[in-house]
Structure 1
Amino acid sequence: MFIGRERELASLNRLYESGRFEFVVIYGRRRVGKTALISRFIQDKKAIYFIAVESSVKQNLENLSRNILEYGSGISADTSFVSFQAALEYVFKLAENERIILAIDEYPYAARSSRSLASTLQLLIDKYKDSSKLMLILCGSSMSYMEDHVLAYKAPLYGRRTAQMKVRPFDFADTCLYFKNFADEDKALIYGIAGGTPQYLQQMDDRLSVEENIKNTFLNPSSSLFEEPENLLKQEVREPALYNAIITSIASGASRMAEISTKVGESTSVCATYLKNLISLGLVKKETPYGEKSSKRSIYTISDNMFNFWYRFVPENSSVIARGASDLAYKRIEPHLKSYMGRVFEEICSQYLWKLLLTGKSPVEFRDLGRWWGTDPRTKSQTEIDIMGAQDKSTALFCECKWTNEKVGTDVLETLTERSRIFRYETEHLFIFAKNGFTQGCMEKASAIGRVSLVTYSEILKELLGA
């Protein structure tokens, strides 16, 4: 089932319709759906698709040759080109007379097996770019390799690409398209535990409850998701044990560099290097209080929901899970789901605010959004704001997000009003997002104040899904 990726497909089709040589770099984390995107794009077009393997140059050359010859003759052939240059030049020449797509998937495997491949492509692009109608696609899951050896200034192919595309996990709206049978609240819960990675979403069954899905995947030793985070790290990094320890420390509450360093038993300089790599992989993000470009108050959080859920709950219950006691493991996890979903709900609310901005419905045309935390100078106490965003030096919005079963009362509105006054904006607009609505008193007070939007989860879902 292919879902979403409308913008990516539209971009690829625009490039295809140009009729001239195009060179597109597609990259992104494993499991994110890059191959599915390429397959969808080329399904009704003349294309040669080659997926490299982690093997010898001979094996990859034979596979590429077979794909090229099958395209040219329509039959399988045992003949192989003498070199990558001969094979690729044949395709460039073939495309002088017709529009052809050559998609090389998992390009890093081919490039590592043949160190001259990048230089060969550089040579052929420079030679044929003005005469060939080839659309060349290089795709890779090794983010660091694609960024350092394909996109970077010192890379042989630098300056040759006509477009690049970083494929990211789905947002909440797209994940909802996967599930027709889940109740609205369950859609948010599934997004919170599986994130937006297509391969993880496919492990979820909307005919079952959220509890059953958690038991069948995260709490089941035979499930592919049970060992997925550790297996993915083994594929991406050289020292998975230390990376694993760093992510575990963050999931268990260590968010500042000093705290992470202490928990894993390594220096801050060592941890900084590993954290930088985790950020490049899209697994961890570094946050600073909104409006501060660099700060000693910076924190690290796990950016992928599936990884966050797994590291938060699976390792501490691994002994129980290994013994097949999924019911007991879930019983331990269930009381913490509400607090766990707090940050997920903030993420969903942020996506709602971006949707309002992009459709011209936002009361504040903010430049960006973020969390803020720090000291309230009036009370000298620590406080935080779930989401805030500024339009300019005089106008901003402030938001509070509540994933609770109770209706939100006036106390929440009063607290947000007070916290917004830490900043001195002339015009403020307040948003309060609630899972289950608001008390009558809260609605009356919001109406009296003005410039307050009270938004329920069902209204968020309606806006995001266009229902």
Structure 2
Amino acid sequence: MFIGRKRELATLRRLYKTESFRLPVIYGRRRVGKTSLIAHFTAALPTIFFTAIEDSTQANLRNLSREYFLFEHPDADPAGAPVFPDFQTAFESIFTLARQRRIVLVIDEYPYLAKAEPSVSSILQMLIDRNKDASRLFMILCGSSLSFMREQVLSEKSPLYGRRTAQLEIKPLDFFESLDFFPEANSIDAACYYGMVGGIPLYLKQFDPTLTLSENIEAAFLDPSSLLFEEPTNLVKQEVKKAATYNAVIGAIADGKTTSNEIATTVGSTSAEINYPLKELQRIGLVERELPFGDKRRRGVYRLSDNLFAFWYRFILPSKSLVERGLSTRVLGRIEEHLPEYMGPVFEQICREWLWRQNAANALPFEFDNANRWWGSNPATHAQEEIDIVCAEQSHVTAVCECKWRNQAMEASVLKTLDRRAPLVNAGSEAYRCVFAKTGFTEGCKELTRQNDKYKLITFEDMLQSVVL
């Protein structure tokens, strides 16, 4: 069953209906579901689906020739497929074929092809310019190397610059889309699964909705034969050289070290020496640099932007040897003990996703174009304070929010603390005060909302019932 990607599918279908030449570029991190999206879109369409490989020019040319031959002769033996003399001839034949009818040409893992045949982008540029007015070809270029796709396909220095007709960056599903993977699971468990692996469809499929949360953790993470047991380190090895340094940096961030000095000290290096690994990890989408709301002058902090990496480097990597020695039950106990604490930032992420969805649907009593965390020193007390989410419209604060993943009902003190902190981000009395809670609120907390309509109490269940999909 194909889940999500409604907006992306709608875009591709709209482009396809034009009947004229189109070149959408699709890119996104590995495992995010690009190929599944394209396969679903092309399922009922006349398609030449060519997946490039990390091999020679000739090997890729043979594969493209075979796909072309099977497209023309679906019942033929692929072993008898003639091989084009070169890529220019192959692509010219496809453009010619597309003069008579609408054809989709998919080049998946395009960076591999460009590495094997460096002239391929220039060849495509020439053929597009020559044929675009008469051809009905629908060509999709797809790639997992974010830097290559941005710099060698989409940027001004690329021969293909100006030829694309659309670009789609495929990002992980948000929490509310991921719920479709767990129709039988309770919502708390589903949130935990999302917290462990994020919105990557392949990873979400590793959980069996008929099993308990503990059973799924054991099966997905604490079995040395499972996909996820070594997945993060394998992905790092595919993306960078000297993976040991990157693993150490990721591990330090997962352990709560967020500044460059803290990270450098943990890995036994200097801030200057880890600067490049941090930039590379940001480039490939595993780390992000976060600044407090409204403050662009301070040094930001680093956080893992991928839930699988945050969970795996915190809980699995430090205990791999125990799992390999058959002590997975002991590791599971440690995970269960600290999972509620780990889920705190994940719940903030889910609340932010809910706010953006509701904001886009005009389903909130306030509007915003920016929603970020704030932290800093309180000038009056010199104590460090934090606000989980600050919503603002053109720098004007419209709401401040607190997010609590706790089993007990939230007391009135949470709202009072939020009220006290609001002036630290210049939030006036007109700004809403929102508290998101895993379970619910005490009667005293509810009483405050009856006295002031700027106070909003939202439970996790409220979010699930009201979210605009």
- TM-score when normalising by structure 2: 0.97
Please show how residues 33-72 of structure 1 align to structure 2 within 5 Å: 33-72=33-72
Aligned to 1:17: 17
In the alignment, structure 1 residue 186 sits paired with structure 2 residue 189:
yes
Aligned to 2:232: 229
Aligned to 1:333: 335
In the alignment, structure 1 residue 287 sits paired with structure 2 residue 294:
no
CA shift for structure 1 position 424: 2.8
In the alignment, structure 1 residue 138 sits paired with structure 2 residue 145:
no
Contact 2:400–2:427 under 8 Å retained in 1: no
Residues 40-67 of structure 1 show CA distances to partners (whole Å, capped at 9, x for unaligned) of 0111111110011111111110010011
CA shift for structure 1 position 425: 3.4
SS across alignment from 1:177: helix
Question: Partners in 2 of 1:229 and 1:123 — Cα distance?
Answer: 40
Could you list the runs of 5+ residues in structure 1 that have no partner in the other structure? Answer: none
CA shift for structure 1 position 394: 4.6
Question: Partners in 2 of 1:94 and 1:317 — Cα distance?
Answer: 56
Contact 1:218–1:225 under 8 Å retained in 2: yes
CA shift for structure 1 position 284: 1.0
SS across alignment from 2:216: helix
In the alignment, structure 1 residue 112 sits paired with structure 2 residue 115:
yes
Question: Partners in 2 of 1:47 and 1:71 — Cα distance?
Answer: 7
Residues 390-426 of structure 1 show CA distances to partners (whole Å, capped at 9, x for unaligned) of 1245542000011101000011111011000223334
Please show how residues 9-408 of structure 1 align to structure 2 within 5 Å: 9-74=9-74, 75=76, 76=78, 77-296=80-299, 298-392=300-394, 394-408=396-410
CA shift for structure 1 position 236: 1.2
Residues 271-293 of structure 1 show CA distances to partners (whole Å, capped at 9, x for unaligned) of 22221221122211110001123
Aligned to 2:8: 8
Question: Partners in 1 of 2:332 and 2:195 — Cα distance?
Answer: 16
Question: Partners in 2 of 1:226 and 1:425 — Cα distance?
Answer: 45
Aligned to 2:420: 418
Contact 2:361–2:468 under 8 Å retained in 1: no
**Aligned residue type for 1:24:** P
CA shift for structure 1 position 154: 0.9
Question: Partners in 1 of 2:59 and 2:40 — Cα distance?
Answer: 26
Question: Partners in 2 of 1:452 and 1:319 — Cα distance?
Answer: 49
CA shift for structure 1 position 329: 0.6
**Aligned residue type for 2:83:** S
Please, what is the CA RMSD of the aligned residues?
A: 1.3
SS across alignment from 2:277: helix
Percent identity (aligned): 46
Contact 1:409–1:438 under 8 Å retained in 2: yes
Question: Partners in 2 of 1:447 and 1:280 — Cα distance?
Answer: 47
**Aligned residue type for 1:424:** N
Question: Partners in 2 of 1:266 and 1:200 — Cα distance?
Answer: 33
Question: Partners in 1 of 2:183 and 2:364 — Cα distance?
Answer: 29
CA shift for structure 1 position 308: 0.6
Aligned to 1:435: 438
Question: Partners in 2 of 1:21 and 1:273 — Cα distance?
Answer: 41
Residues 7-31 of structure 1 show CA distances to partners (whole Å, capped at 9, x for unaligned) of 0000001111111111111111111
SS across alignment from 2:282: helix
CA shift for structure 1 position 294: 4.3
SS across alignment from 1:324: coil
Question: Partners in 2 of 1:438 and 1:64 — Cα distance?
Answer: 61
In the alignment, structure 1 residue 459 sits paired with structure 2 residue 462:
yes
**Aligned residue type for 2:270:** S
Question: Partners in 2 of 1:78 and 1:42 — Cα distance?
Answer: 23
Contact 1:429–1:451 under 8 Å retained in 2: yes
Question: Partners in 1 of 2:34 and 2:359 — Cα distance?
Answer: 28
Residues 209-259 of structure 1 show CA distances to partners (whole Å, capped at 9, x for unaligned) of 111111112111111100000001111112211111110010011101111
Count matched residues.
465
Question: Partners in 1 of 2:335 and 2:324 — Cα distance?
Answer: 16
Question: Partners in 2 of 1:127 and 1:432 — Cα distance?
Answer: 59
- TM-score when normalising by structure 1: 0.97
Question: Partners in 1 of 2:410 and 2:54 — Cα distance?
Answer: 55
Question: Partners in 2 of 1:454 and 1:158 — Cα distance?
Answer: 49
Could you list the runs of 5+ residues in structure 2 that have no partner in the other structure? Answer: none
CA shift for structure 1 position 440: 0.2
Residues 94-134 of structure 1 show CA distances to partners (whole Å, capped at 9, x for unaligned) of 11111111000011111111111111111111111111111
CA shift for structure 1 position 456: 0.5
SS across alignment from 2:164: coil
Contact 1:364–1:391 under 8 Å retained in 2: no
Question: Partners in 1 of 2:397 and 2:269 — Cα distance?
Answer: 43
Contact 1:352–1:463 under 8 Å retained in 2: no
Question: Partners in 1 of 2:48 and 2:377 — Cα distance?
Answer: 59
Question: Partners in 2 of 1:424 and 1:107 — Cα distance?
Answer: 48
**Aligned residue type for 1:333:** I
